[in-house]
A and B are shown apart, each in its own frame.
Chain A
Amino acid sequence: MRVSIICAVVVAAVPMVASAQDRNAGRNMAASCAMCHGTDGRGATGYQPLAGMAKDELVRKLNGFRSGATPATVMHQISKGYTDQQIQLIAEYFSAQKK
């Protein structure tokens, strides 16, 4: 019963905030990359590690794939699915991850 009370307090103390969307948009979209590039962009075999990559560098790479300037097997097709702003958010997320 003691546990019930603690749980009730925890739940009651959580404020109803507007949206988890803005705060986690980068994290959520970046999670898609993990199936090839590793969880949080770390530890993958045979694919570019993304964790800790400078934001500008990743933005530049993704834009290169998107424009076709950088040859690719898959990334030119994936990167075209994301807006400039979304690419910024994804790059920001990976740049903040430990290598």
Chain B
Amino acid sequence: MNRTFDRRDFLKLTGAAAALAAAGCASTSPKARVVVIGGGFGGATAAKYIRMWDPSIEVVMVERADAFISCPISNLVLAGYKSMANITHRHDGLQRYGVQVVRDEATAVDAAKRVVRLARGGDLAYDRLIVAPGIDFMFNELPAYQSAMSAGRVLHAWKAGEQTVALRRQLEQMKDGGVYVLSVPLAPYRCPPGPYERASLVAGYFKKAKPRSKVLVLDANPDVTSKGPLFKKAWADLYKGILEYRGNAKAIDVDVRTGSVKLEVEDVKGDVLNVVPPQRAGDIAVKAGLITANNRWCGIDWRTMESTAVKGVHVLGDATLSAPLMPKSGSMANQHAKICAAAVIALINGQQPDAGPKIANTCYSYVSDNEAIHVASVHTWNEKDKTLTTVPGSGGVSSARSELEGAYAWAWAVNIWQDVLG
């Protein structure tokens, strides 16, 4: 660790990185510096919990966006039930815990020198690095996608933000009697129940605002991948004649000229095309050499969240090669972050990390403006399989959709945002 601090003195730093190095090292003597890339459900939680549990560790979080915009609840924004303001939250609360937030983009990681390169210039030295980049899209799987997206003719809205706003606008502008096509990629993708929640809520909006319109779900998977019976019951009860679901309907391209999604056997026309492309770990994970599985995901040791490819680097959230039956969800990323925070603190303090971590997950999905369903699971270290597996007999789904769970779902969002961001 002495070596790192020595090295940092010699690093040529500019901009935010230089200011941090000066503030962090001249006025205090932190035990070690942890750099966190990404201020979402995983990264921000890890940054906060490390400072909360061991304030002698310096934590610098690098986040390129001005604010956190939550994917959970963003489907309610698409349906007009909530606003962008409801899902947009600043990172300011983290300062109360002494997390230093650098508004910049990490462009490279040099794991040998233990530095993160920043877009605006300068290197940030670390003793341990936490990479929580979320997902990026494999646009090349759909050759015409990117040009169609640039032209505003197809959207994913699978990262909440500008595209959420754009898709909402397209849904509002669509004529009554139009068709909204939602294309779902093969699992694994971010938020397994997310597409089905989106289909439900858009159908709810159509039912009220433009009742002759249709929602058409083209799912690359053979069947609904999460909470299937509960979603299908809601669709039959609430959206009959509005929402149509097709399994084994994998999109292979889009066609702007005809306004259609190209499947293997046919083209399907729509007025609003919401095609969610296949996904992989975020770009910085690729650049940092953290990808270990199928050119897509980052393998980790689930006891510490440390990369199996690069020592001293931990990976959280959707970017990880998911453990069995573990969804890529904001809930899980928040839980990964707590395993990671405890392990990083133990390792920096020369202690053995928790040898048997245990975490719980609850994912709520709305099926209408006020009713929700959930899936819950408990994941624990399995020494035989060397991964986290679900505890037999635990977990499950809702017995039925309910307004009570709708209230819990909203409260869950408010509370997890607070847990993530301070």
Please list the residues of chain A having a beta carbon within 8 angstroms of any beta carbon in chain B: 1, 3-4, 6-8, 10-11, 14-21, 24-25, 27-29, 31-39, 43-47, 73-74, 77-78, 80-82, 86
Contacts and interface: CB of A to CB of B under 8 A. Distances in A.
B411 A44 contact: yes
A51 to B, nearest CB: 13
Contacts of B390: 81
Contacts of B398: 73
Interface string B69-82: 00000000000000
Interface of chain A: mostly helix, strand, loop or mixed = helix
Given A36-B412, A73-B402, A20 B351 contact: yes
Contacts, number: 157
A24 B338 CA distance: 12
A10 B29 contact: yes
Interface stretch (B116-124, B214-222, B352-360): B352-360
B350 A7 contact: no
B376 A74 contact: yes
A79 B25 CA distance: 45
A1 B9 contact: yes
B342 A35 contact: no
Given A35-B334, A36-B362, A81 B407 contact: no
Contacts of B342: 20, 24, 27-28, 31
Contacts of B1: 7-8, 11
A74 B374 contact: yes
Task: From A4, A45, A46, A86, name the one whose CB has the most chain B CB atoms within 10 angstroms.
Answer: A4
Given A73-B398, A73-B402, A73-B405, A36 B416 contact: yes
A36 B374 CA distance: 13
B143 interface: no
Interface residues of B, number: 60
A44 B342 CA distance: 23
B4 to A, nearest CB: 8
A84 to B, nearest CB: 14
B193 to A, nearest CB: 15
B354 A74 contact: no
Contact of B412 (A7, A8, A35): A35
B395 to A, nearest CB: 5
Contact of B404 (A25, A37, A73): A73
Nearest to A29: B358
A73 B338 CA distance: 25
Contacts of B356: 21
A-B CB proximity, top 3 nearest: A81-B378, A46-B411, A81-B394
B30 to A, nearest CB: 8
B224 to A, nearest CB: 20
Contacts of A44: 411, 415, 418
B358 A35 contact: no
B57 to A, nearest CB: 11
B419 interface: yes
B189 interface: no
A47 B409 CA distance: 11
Contacts of A1: 6, 9
Contacts of B350: 11, 14-17
B29 A14 contact: no
Interface in B365-393: 374, 376-378, 380, 390-391, 393
Contacts of A35: 331, 334-335, 362, 412, 415-416, 419
B5 interface: yes
Contact of A32 (B26, B338, B352, B353): B338
Given A36-B362, A86-B358, A7 B29 contact: yes
